[in-house]
Amino acid sequence: MTKAVLKTWYDPKPDEIADRHGAFLQQLGQPTCLFIPGKDTSKVRAITTLLHGNEPSGLIAVHQWLKSHYESPEVNILIIIASVKTALTEPLYSYRHLPDERDLNRCFNPPYNDKQGEVAEAILNCLAEYQPEALLDIHNTSGNGPDFAVTINDSKPHQWLTSLFTGLMIKTDLRLGALMEVVDNIYPTVTIECGGAKTGQSHRTAFQGIQRYLHTPELFMANSFNQVQILYNPVRLELDNNINLDFCDQPVVGMDLTLRKDIERFNFGVVDGTVHLGWLNNGSDRLLKMSDLTGNDIFHDYFDIKGNTIYPSFPIQLFMITSNPVIAVDDCLFYAVRARH
């Protein structure tokens, strides 16, 4: 008999859950769907987390809630914990995805013909079966930035869901094969970036937001919610797989690109033409890619190269900056939007 891609655990009790989140992951052993009955059994709310194995705040918050939920949630709750084996690969919570596998949150469009595709398809099938009224996909930022949300829709329900966790929303037109892109037309879906993966504040942000989500009687009936700031249409700075990259306070000999060591401090800050971001070796700008929605290269629209030093061409706001070279090459170095005057 073939082992199910997605294990189901119905109504886990607090005393059945391992005391520590690492042991809880061991207890799960594979991608798992948890179902917790609520007071109103006619509705379901969904949470996905750990789509990336190195982003544990959602998992830690879910574990904390499961160990302490003496009060039933308002409605039925579906929690999908995805990249369990990736997260368990030593050192714990170190791998976004395993080296021989694709990024799970880039696999939600067909075909689903590899291991990660099968997990993505199983997650979609599980969500389709339960038809939640909303979905929160909980992540950590790639670097040590503050919390924010990402959506493909800026409707009031999306803003309401965002406000449970953070005051900042990024509305994107980029399409990468992420979960929210596939299901948002069925029910409101918001990706929550809780902040850096290694900070207690990020874990608290996740836990407090989850509590609000699970214990609010009517999600979208509240007369008011905290206003959120919305930034529109980010672009990504992507790096060629063969680039030689380093982070230093001065150009490093032999590197195609050297980024300033403190670049993460610009997360959600505005930088302009007076701020240098790093240094390029001669001709290495061909290894950097920034595209608009039609695929046109717009790197030189956003950045000027002056004597091999990189400067913004105009005021821009940067976010999701990472100083992890593996993530920078595998995903992107950062996102950027035009700064509002």
Contact between 167 and 229 (Cβ < 8 Å): yes
List the one residue out of 135, 117, 120, 20 whose CA is nearest residue 77.
135
What's this model's pTM, rounded to 2 decimal places?
0.88
Any alpha helices (H) in 92-176, and if so which ranges? 115-130, 156-163
Task: Write out the DSSP string of 296-331.
Answer: -B-HHHHEEEETTEEEESS-EEEES----HHHHHHT
CA dist 220 to 38, 45, 148, 189, 190, Å? 18, 12, 20, 13, 14
Question: How many CB atoms neighbour CB 271 within 10 A?
Answer: 18
Per-residue pLDDT tens over the stretch 47-62: 999 999 999 999 999 9
Backbone phi and psi for residue 206, each to the nearest 5 degrees, phi listed first: -65, -45
pLDDT < 50 regions, the chain: 1-2
> What is the predicted pLDDT for the residue at 1?
37
Per-residue pLDDT tens over the stretch 31-42: 999 999 999 999
The letter for the amino acid at 83 is S
> What is the predicted pLDDT for the residue at 292?
86
List the one residue out of 171, 304, 144 whose CA is nearest residue 234.
171
> What is the predicted pLDDT for the residue at 19?
96
The CA distance from 150 to 294, in Å, is 21
Any alpha helices (H) in 178-322, and if so which ranges? 179-183, 200-215, 299-302
Taking the CA atoms of 314, 143, 242 and 238 in sequence, report the sign of the dihedral they define. Answer: negative
List the one residue out of 169, 128, 130 whose CA is nearest residue 146.
169
> What is the predicted pLDDT for the residue at 150?
94
Contact between 180 and 191 (Cβ < 8 Å): yes
- Strands 245-247 and 278-280 turn out to be unpaired
Q: Which domains does the chain show, CATH number per domain?
A: 7-231 (3.40.630.10), 234-338 (no CATH)
The CA distance from 36 to 15, in Å, is 14
> What is the predicted pLDDT for the residue at 95?
95
Contact between 168 and 228 (Cβ < 8 Å): yes
Taking the CA atoms of 263, 269, 275 and 279 in sequence, report the sign of the dihedral they define. Answer: positive
Per-residue pLDDT tens over the stretch 175-232: 889 999 999 999 999 999 999 998 999 999 999 999 999 999 998 876 567 789 998 9
Residue 192 CA from chain centroid, whole number: 6
% pLDDT > 70, the chain: 98
Q: What tokens appear for 50 in the block?
A: 């750990």
The CA distance from 224 to 238, in Å, is 39
